[in-house]
């Protein structure tokens, strides 16, 4: 089940709106299944009913109640199908209750260069000089099984927090590969766009920052090789934070981007 494709497999129930899925405990932070992984499962189900538009190009999700590892149901409904996109509403259910709700725009991606961009790759330390994030990060206070399936190498430039010297920029960057050796694709990118540690670590704020809502756009098919991912805090206040995330492929092209609205507890 460590393989991404197996961990996100879906089985259609009699051509109806429901798919049986098996949520894999390895794609988790502590006991909580990873938010990007759950979207990848829903995106796989959405793609199964939109053959003309096989790729997730945009998704917005709200995390209602954390699902447990094990059997669950992905329910998908096509809202509208057009020439270049299909809009899909999806829900992840356990015990008949909605755990994640998501709105997908499915399309067909290519690997073409952009017409115009203002999102060049961030400056980063070469992958071989970055630090592989372990399953038991020192000081995190919880196991991160996700790090056994995603090889995440943190840029030491932003690791001051681990030495008690956060930079106060609210920025983390990392190189990422799938541990199963498969290349990145539009579904696995949804994992990468939410896989960095909380950027609040770089602001000297300990503790997890649970995602409330996440929005991700996939912009093109990634080239082979690792991706570079940066995550940045915007503003922290009122026990809430926004973060933006960008991912570039090995050719330096933007492949995905995300924004999230997260809960954060600022120590008094």
**Running DSSP on this structure, what letter comes out for residue 141?**
S
* Longest CA span, the chain: 56
CA distance 237 to 197: 19
> CB-based burial of residue 209 (10 Å sphere; 0-12 exposed, 13-18 middle, 19+ buried)?
buried
Binding mask 193-222 vs its own copies (x if CB under 8 A, - otherwise)?
----------x--------xx-x-x-xx--
Minimum CB–partner distance for residue 170 and its own copies (Å)? 6
Binding residues among 154-183 for its own copies as defined by CB under 8 A: 168-170
Structure tokens at 168: 């106060």
Distance of alpha carbon 228 from alpha carbon 94, whole angstroms: 34
Q: Tell me if 114 contacts its own copies by CB under 8 A.
A: yes
Q: Between 149 and 241, whose beta carbon lies closer to its own copies?
A: 241
Distance in Å, CB of 69 to its own copies, minimum: 20
User: In this structure, are residues 87 and 135 in contact, taking their beta carbons and an 8 Å threshold?
Assistant: no
Interaction between residue 58 and its own copies (CB under 8 A): yes
User: Contacting its own copies (CB under 8 A), which of 236, 245, 247, 249?
Assistant: 236
Q: Name which of 184, 127, 228 is nearest 4 in CA terms.
A: 184
Write out the residues near its own copies by the rule CB under 8 A.
57-58, 60-62, 64-65, 79-80, 84-85, 87, 89, 98, 101, 103, 105, 107, 109-110, 112-119, 168-170, 203, 212-213, 215, 217, 219-220, 232-240, 242, 244, 254, 257, 259, 261, 263, 266
């Amino acid at each position: 089940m460590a393989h991404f494709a197996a961990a996100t497999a879906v089985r259609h129930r009699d051509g109806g709106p429901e798919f049986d899925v098996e949520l894999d405990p390895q794609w988790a932070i502590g006991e909580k299944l990873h938010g990007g992984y759950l979207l990848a499962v829903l995106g796989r189900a959405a793609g199964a009913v939109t053959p003309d538009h096989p790729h997730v190009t945009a998704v917005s999700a709200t995390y209602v109640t954390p699902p447990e590892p094990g059997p669950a149901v992905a329910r998908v409904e096509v809202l509208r199908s057009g020439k270049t996109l299909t809009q899909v509403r999806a829900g992840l259910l356990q015990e008949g209750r909605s755990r994640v709700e998501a709105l997908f725009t499915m399309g067909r991606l290519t690997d073409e260069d952009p017409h115009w961009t203002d999102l060049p790759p961030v400056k980063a330390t070469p992958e071989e000089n970055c630090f592989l994030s372990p399953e038991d990060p020192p000081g995190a206070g919880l196991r991160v099984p996700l790090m056994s399936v995603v090889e995440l190498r943190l840029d030491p430039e932003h690791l001051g927090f681990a030495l008690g010297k956060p930079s106060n920029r609210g920025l983390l960057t990392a190189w990422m590969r799938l541990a199963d050796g498969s290349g990145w694709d539009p579904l696995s990118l949804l994992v990468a766009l939410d896989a960095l540690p909380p950027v609040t670590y770089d602001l000297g704020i300990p503790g997890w920052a649970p995602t409330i809502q996440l929005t991700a756009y996939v912009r093109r098919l990634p080239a082979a090789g690792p991706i570079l991912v940066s995550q940045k805090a915007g503003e922290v206040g009122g026990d809430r934070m926004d973060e933006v995330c960008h991912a570039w492929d090995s050719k330096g092209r933007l492949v995905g981007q995300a924004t999230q609205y997260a809960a954060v507890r600022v120590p008094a």
